[in-house]
Structure 1
Amino acid sequence: MINSLKQLYPNSLLNPIDLKRPEDYYHFQALENSLFIPLCELKNDQIKLLNIFSENSTSTTNSLPANPIEESWYQFLTKNSPAVPSGAESVRILQLDFYKLPEQFAYDIWKDTLKDSLDAIITILSLNERRLLVILDADRLENDTVPQLTGLITTLDDDFEVATRGIIGQIHRVSQALPSLYENELMLFNQAIQSDIFKEIQYLSDTLLNEIGHEATAQQPILANLRQQILSNSEYEATIRTLFAHRGNLTQAAEALFVHRNTLTYRMNKFTKESGFNLQHLPDLIICYLASN
């Protein structure tokens, strides 16, 4: 079995001695052999099939939940437990990845500080030393909760000298369908963290847009050509990404780029003249953003 999987996934690692970033791999255990398959190469149905055959489908670095609430959510989301956790009708899952850690990191204090800072947090699951799941009660989330949460994590990063990135998932009802929806969000997260550009907390919708952009660019020659135009000029790429991040607001985008508004307008007009896409027209801006990812 192990040898067959190794042939199917040539980038997998067999019995690695010093595995870097184990959270980026699916751990397939068979007797005394361990095969680590890059998660970015696996689809949801492949993971489910591997789970059937694997004696241990989780990373060896996984830590066990410390209390009944954590245990119930951990078993439900990662172990296919049929027992649906109680206490919330709908949830939003925040996936976090520590991509920079000091040698001495007060992991539990970081978690407890975050949990104590926001009432909407049901529990925080430790998947391994770098991965966390923050389960949020959607009914207790206010409109400003997500920006508040992002600000809290940024503050904690500064205080603990760590660097965190993550994806805030969609709102889902707590039902038997939730684990498969979480798996889909996990797959998108694993794909997103392969990029060196991804170093922040962002919404799942941003990740979906990036994924759609990759697929569309691969299928549409006109978008592939547009992508070349954008990436050939660093000013164009920065302009498009910043405009999109600020929803087309020229004043805010100019401030973020540290340029005068007139300079930004000049760059946009120059891009329109060369490409035919008007960045002040929302559909054009969205298409250019998708092509740039």
Structure 2
Amino acid sequence: MDIDKLQQLFPKGRLSNSSEGLAEELNFPLTNGYFHLPKDSLSEREAQLLEIFLPIAPRSATAKEHLYYQVLFEKAPAPKTPPLRIIQIKLRTRDNFLQKEWLSEIQDMFLKLADSFFLTEDLLLLVEEKDETNYPVEEIFGLFQALDNDFEISTQVFVGAFHQDLSRLADNFKEEQQIFQKELAHHTGQRDFSFTSTAINYFVATAMKESPLMNSLYQDWFSDPEIRSILAALWQNQGNVSSAAKELFLHRNTLIYRIDKFQEATRLDVKNMDDLVFCHLMIKIFSE
């Protein structure tokens, strides 16, 4: 990284050999030290972009003592374990937050935690081994929602994928971290981030939204709210027309008639899963 260029872009920033910056600073690790930037010198967009493209240095010195901090950020070899996933938890707390008790609840919930530590004051990482006791993603979101209510805090939770090749864990996590930061920047009020949905947004949504062709097709094919509802119901019911009709409170023949009209206009075939997936992605991406 060009340190001189960074200093020119952010003249209020300072270089240091220590990761321990001030509470009102963002701190980024560089090849030969750390760059500290006062938060009030950055626009909200600048801060979000920096957090996406630069890893944030931990505020707590104790983070560096954790094995998986060393694996993820200092190129230490990962121990031989079952596949691992990393859950990122962004917190907004109050002054009298019972952090110790909250962490104890999390330890009780996740029976196969390999490690857990605060990367920054408001970002907790959980490193979980793959096991039959792992919660499904939706249950994890529900558990954190219950904890939010109990402790009167707010969390935003990203559940990463399980990684089998642990030699690539650090690189894979770096990309998951970028995905989460980008999603946080675009969906500030969202609380739950699954790997699959965020990966679609991160890798597909931007390209589709920037495409004149995709914009034109969305307006031509999906501008009618009724057809969007019909296609959403078909997607939720795996293409089953009878189940979709019940969900929409429509007679099956009425639904078939409206689907036929859509297919005649677009030359798509929603019985073909490729076409139905395409419709689902278009509606999901352009409706946000």
- Partners of 2:143 and 2:276 in 1: CA distance: 31
For the Cα contact (< 8 Å) 1:26–1:38, is it kept in 2? Answer: no
In structure 2, the CA distance between the partners of 1:33 and 1:159, relative to structure 1 (3 Å rule), is closer
Deviation at 1:13, TM superposition (A): 8.4
Q: 1:130 to 1:42 in 2, by over 3 A?
A: closer
Please list, as runs of the form range in 1=range in 2, the aligned pairs for 1:57-72 lying within 5 A after superposition.
58=57, 62-65=59-62, 71-72=66-67
Pick one of 179, 201, 204 that aligns with 1:213: 204
Partner of 2:78: 84
Structure 1, gaps ≥5 residues long: 52-56
Judge conservation of contact 1:2–1:30 (CA < 8 Å) in 2. Answer: no
Q: Secondary structure at the match of 1:207?
A: helix
Contact residue 78 and residue 166 of structure 2 kept, 8 A: yes
Letter in 2 for 1:125: F
- Offset of residue 246 of structure 1: 6.6
Distance 2:221 2:93 in 1: 34
Task: State how far apart, in whole Å, the 2-side matches of 1:242 and 1:213 are.
Answer: 22
Structure 2 unaligned spans of 5+ = 15-21, 40-45
- The answer as to whether partners of 2:24 and 2:38 remain within 8 angstroms in 1 is no
Distance 2:171 2:280 in 1: 29
| Structure 1 counterpart of 2:87, from 57, 75, 94 | 94
Q: Is the 8 A contact 2:67 2:115 kept in 1?
A: no
Residue in structure 1 matching 2:69, options 74, 77, 97:
74
- Structure 1 length-normalised TM: 0.67
**2:18 matched residue in structure 1:** none
Give yes or no for the alignment of 1:34 onto 2:32. no
Partner residue in 1 for 2:177: 186
Query: CA separation in 1, counterparts of 2:24 and 2:230?
Result: 38
| SS class of match (1:135) | strand
Checking the alignment, whether the CA contact within 8 Å between 1:115 and 1:123 is kept in structure 2 is no
Conserved? CA contact 2:83–2:163, under 8 Å? yes
Query: Cα distance 1:231–1:26, how it changes in 2: closer, same or farther (>3 A)?
Result: farther
Per-residue displacement from partner, 1:19-49 (whole Å, max 9, x unpaired)? 59x5xx84669789637764546877xx4xx
**After the TM superposition, which residues 117-132 of structure 1 pair with which residues of structure 2 at under 5 Å, given as runs?**
117-132=109-124
Letter in 2 for 1:73: Y
Match of 2:152 in 1: 161
CA distance in 2, matches of 1:206, 1:92: 16
Q: Deviations over 1:102-126 (max 9, x none)?
A: 3432223222201112212222221
Contact between 1:2 and 1:35, CA under 8 Å: does it hold in 2?
no
What letter matches 2:162 in structure 1? I
8 Å Cα contact 1:164-1:199 kept in structure 2? no
| Amino acid across the alignment from 1:127 | L
Aligned 8 A contact 1:250 1:261 in 2: no
Counterparts of 1:235 and 1:6, CA distance in 2: 53
- Contact kept, 8 Å, 2:82 with 2:164, in 1: the verdict is yes
Match of 1:109 in 2: 101
Q: Are 1:150 and 2:151 counterparts?
A: no
SS in 2 for 1:173: coil
8 Å CA contact 2:113, 2:128 repeated in 1? yes
Inter-partner Cα distance in structure 2 for 1:254 and 1:18: 55
Judge conservation of contact 1:40–1:187 (CA < 8 Å) in 2.
Answer: no
SS of the residue 1:125 aligns to: strand
CA deviations on 1:182-226 (whole Å, 9 max, x unpaired) are 111111111111222762333312212122332441564331223
Aligned to 1:54: none
Q: Secondary structure at the match of 1:262?
A: coil
Contact 1:246-1:252 at 8 Å conserved across structures: yes
Structure of larger gyration radius? 2
Please report the TM-score for the alignment, with normalisation by the length of structure 2. 0.68
Kept after mapping to 1: 8 A contact 2:233/2:248: no
Equivalent pair of 1:72/1:85 in contact (CA under 8 Å)? no
SS in structure 2 at match of 1:193? helix
Give the secondary structure class of the aligned counterpart of 1:177.
helix
